[in-house]
C-alpha cells in the first residue's frame, strides 16, 4: 500500500511538472510546439515568389524548395538573382555575403521552424542568431515576439491584424491571414511586414526601406495536401 501511495504521488508530481512546463512553453513567444508532420513541411515542396518593387513586378529568377524536415526544422534551398534589378540593390546589399555565390546571387540553405502552432525563421534577414517567431496561428492583435541579439539589441515583431475571414487575395482565391510588423534594426531597412496563414505558412512579406521605397512578394506554396 505504501509503495502504491509513493508511486501515485510521484506520478501526480510528474504530471504537475509536465503541465507547468507546457504552460510556461505556451507563454514563451519564441517556443512553438504542435504537429510537425503537416502538408506544408513535405520534403520536395516548392515555393514561388511574385516580387513587386513599388508597383512594378520584377523577375528574380527564384527557386525555393524544401530539402529536409527534421521534426519541424525545415531546410530550404533558396536561389534568386536580385542583381538584375537596380530597385532591389539596397535590399540585396542587406543580405550577408555568406548567403550569396561568387557572382552575388542568392544561393543559400535557410531554415525555418514550421508546426501546426506557428512559424519561425532563422537566416537571411534574421540577425538574432536564434529562431524568432514570425507568428503563432492563435495570435491576437497586440501579441509581440521579442528577441534579443547577442549585442543586446532587441527586435520585436508585433501582431497588428488578424483577419478571421477569407479576405486576403492569394492566387485564385482568398485566405485568412495574420499580419505582423517588425523594426529589424538593419541599416537601410525601416520596416518588415509579414502575412501568415495556418495552412500555407508565410504567404506575403514587404520590406520598406528608409528612403520610403518598398518591395513586396507573395510566396506561393505548391502543394495540395
Q: Do residues 25 and 131 share a domain? A: no
Q: What is the grid cell recorded at 52? A: 513587386
Q: What is the structure's pLDDT at 116?
A: 96
Q: Do residues 121 and 208 share a domain? A: yes
Tell me which residue range forms the domain holding 83. Answer: 32-222
Q: Do residues 12 and 47 share a domain? A: no
pLDDT of the chain, 225 residues: tens digit per residue: 544 444 443 434 444 444 444 444 557 888 999 999 999 999 999 988 888 887 777 877 788 899 999 999 999 998 888 888 787 887 788 788 888 998 888 898 889 999 999 999 986 666 667 889 999 999 999 999 999 887 788 999 999 999 999 999 998 889 999 999 999 888 888 999 999 999 999 999 999 988 888 888 899 888 655
Q: Do residues 136 and 199 share a domain? A: yes
- pLDDT, tens digit, for every residue of 80-123? 888 887 878 877 887 888 889 988 888 988 899 999 999 999 86
Q: Do residues 136 and 200 share a domain? A: yes
Q: Do residues 17 and 110 share a domain? A: no
Q: Do residues 4 and 100 share a domain? A: no
Q: Do residues 114 and 24 share a domain? A: no
For residues 181, 215, 102, 96, the Cα torsion angle rounded to the nearest 10 degrees is -20
Strands 214-222 and 201-209: antiparallel
Q: What is the grid cell recorded at 164? A: 478571421
Q: What is the 3-state secondary structure (H, E, C) of 24-74?
A: HHHHCCCCCCCCCCCHHHCCCCEEEEEEEECCEEECCCCEEEEEEEECCEE
Residue 103 DSSP SS3: coil
For residue 20, how far is the Cα from the chain centroid?
27
Give me the number of domains the chain comprises: 2
Q: Do residues 181 and 78 share a domain? A: yes
Q: What is the structure's pLDDT at 19?
A: 41
Q: What is the structure's pLDDT at 4?
A: 44
Q: CATH number of the domain that 146 lies in?
A: 2.40.360
Q: Do residues 5 and 104 share a domain? A: no
Q: Do residues 105 and 177 share a domain? A: yes
Q: Do residues 184 and 203 share a domain? A: yes
Nearest to 131 by CA among 115, 116, 108, 143: 115
Amino acid at each position: 500500500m505504501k509503495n502504491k501511495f509513493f508511486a501515485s504521488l510521484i506520478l501526480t508530481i510528474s504530471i504537475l511538472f509536465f503541465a507547468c512546463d507546457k504552460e510556461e512553453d505556451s507563454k514563451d513567444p519564441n517556443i512553438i510546439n504542435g504537429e510537425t508532420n503537416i502538408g506544408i513541411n513535405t520534403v520536395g515542396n516548392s515555393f514561388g515568389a511574385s516580387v513587386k518593387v513599388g508597383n512594378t513586378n520584377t523577375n528574380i529568377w527564384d527557386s525555393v524548395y524544401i530539402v529536409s524536415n527534421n521534426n519541424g526544422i525545415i531546410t530550404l534551398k533558396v536561389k534568386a538573382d536580385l542583381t538584375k534589378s537596380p530597385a532591389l540593390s539596397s535590399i540585396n546589399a542587406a543580405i550577408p555575403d555568406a548567403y550569396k555565390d561568387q557572382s552575388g546571387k542568392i544561393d543559400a540553405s535557410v531554415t525555418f521552424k514550421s508546426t501546426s502552432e506557428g512559424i519561425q525563421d532563422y537566416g537571411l534577414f534574421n540577425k538574432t542568431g536564434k529562431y524568432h517567431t514570425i507568428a503563432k496561428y492563435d495570435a491576437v492583435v497586440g501579441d509581440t515576439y521579442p528577441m534579443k541579439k547577442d549585442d543586446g539589441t532587441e527586435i520585436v515583431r508585433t501582431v497588428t491584424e488578424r483577419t478571421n475571414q477569407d479576405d486576403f487575395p492569394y492566387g485564385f482565391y482568398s485566405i485568412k491571414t495574420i499580419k505582423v510588423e517588425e523594426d529589424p534594426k538593419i541599416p537601410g531597412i525601416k520596416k518588415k511586414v509579414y502575412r501568415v496563414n495556418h495552412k500555407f505558412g508565410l504567404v506575403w512579406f514587404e520590406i520598406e526601406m528608409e528612403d520610403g521605397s518598398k518591395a513586396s512578394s507573395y510566396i506561393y506554396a505548391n502543394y495540395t495536401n
